[in-house]
Structure 1
């Protein structure tokens, strides 16, 4: 019987994506993030680019790739919205790094883990955006609304889980 030896979890579970998927999924998420709230104002609570950052970061399990993915997606999101340039880039870059780091230690294929990751990262991003706006930009008008942020985290998680299963079809083992 053949025996396989893996020296790390990285060799076991690292995935790559076709370049078209890597480019199109974040672009579609960003465009939907810009267009949907104008058409359906209640959908402003969703953060589709965050979901893309989490998915690609945990699937690739590379802190550098996760940070770059988060930063680039965040900067493009800032460029198309009315946020100060760089705010989402910083927050999503941090999320990408942490998500890739957690991808080594946690089975990210598990449904419960995916739910917890998306929920916690949504809350973390809300906190990061608050800290960046309040302390780095000095905007004293920014308020943290805990109930709203919990609803946002639940909404993002509810959208992320089916989206993750759909995007799983495009993964290729490295």
Structure 2
């Protein structure tokens, strides 16, 4: 059974990354998401900016940084889509805050933990998005449990792979 609680202070320390990774990963995720979604409608089931937000929030383990990163990535995603400005910003800010807050309390180095967190955060993101569009903007938006569960599962699988790739960019401790 995978450990869920961090056993030592070393496990909850912030992992160092080169600054270029913090800049390029969100930019690539946003660019790929907006470009491919324009040409392949089904690609929008995957939310690469959300996965990058989750990853950096759980590895940085700072709720303020997670919130700000989520807001910036979300607003940039809003600007690149036809969504009202701020919807993705609000959703990703909340996810960034929650992911960073949980990153402090549990062991996020385990692939199982990351998979479960990603599934939950993607599903929560979908629920917040529905709530904001439907209630705050009073626009029609249909919720499909099956679609959202499939969406969460696909993002979970891609997220674990993406997280493993981003782990390779960690600076080694000497």
TM-score, length of structure 1 as denominator length = 0.90
2:54 corresponds in structure 1 to 54
Structure 1 window deviating more from structure 2 (127-136 vs 39-48): it is: 39-48
Q: Distance in 2 between matches of 1:26 and 1:107?
A: 23
Q: Distance in 1 between matches of 2:9 and 2:38?
A: 43
Unmatched 5+ stretches in structure 2: 1-7
Change (3 A) 1:151 1:89: same
* 1:173 shift after superposition: 7.1
2:3 corresponds in structure 1 to none
2:114 corresponds in structure 1 to 114
* 1:15 shift after superposition: 1.6
Q: Distance in 1 between matches of 2:12 and 2:56?
A: 17
Give yes or no for contact 1:30–1:48 (8 Å, CA) kept in 2.
yes
Q: Where in structure 2 are the equivalents of 1:127-142 lying within 5 Å? A: 127-139=127-139, 141-142=140-141
Query: Deviations along 1:137-164, whole A, 9 cap, x unmatched?
Result: 122x112111110010011111111110
Q: Distance in 1 between matches of 2:100 and 2:136?
A: 25
Give yes or no for contact 2:12–2:104 (8 Å, CA) kept in 1.
no
Query: Deviations along 1:50-81, whole A, 9 cap, x unmatched?
Result: 00000000000000000000000000000000
* 1:34 shift after superposition: 0.5
Q: In terms of Rg, which structure is larger?
A: 1
TM-score, length of structure 2 as denominator length = 0.90
Are residues 1:22 and 2:14 paired?
Answer: no
Unmatched 5+ stretches in structure 1: 1-7
Structure 1 window deviating more from structure 2 (32-41 vs 61-70): it is: 32-41
Q: Distance in 1 between matches of 2:148 and 2:11?
A: 36
Q: Where in structure 2 are the equivalents of 1:1-174 lying within 5 Å? A: 9=9, 12-139=12-139, 141-172=140-171
For residue 16 of structure 2, give the secondary structure of its aligned residue in structure 1.
strand
2:5 corresponds in structure 1 to none
Task: Count residues in correspondence.
Answer: 166
1:3 corresponds in structure 2 to none
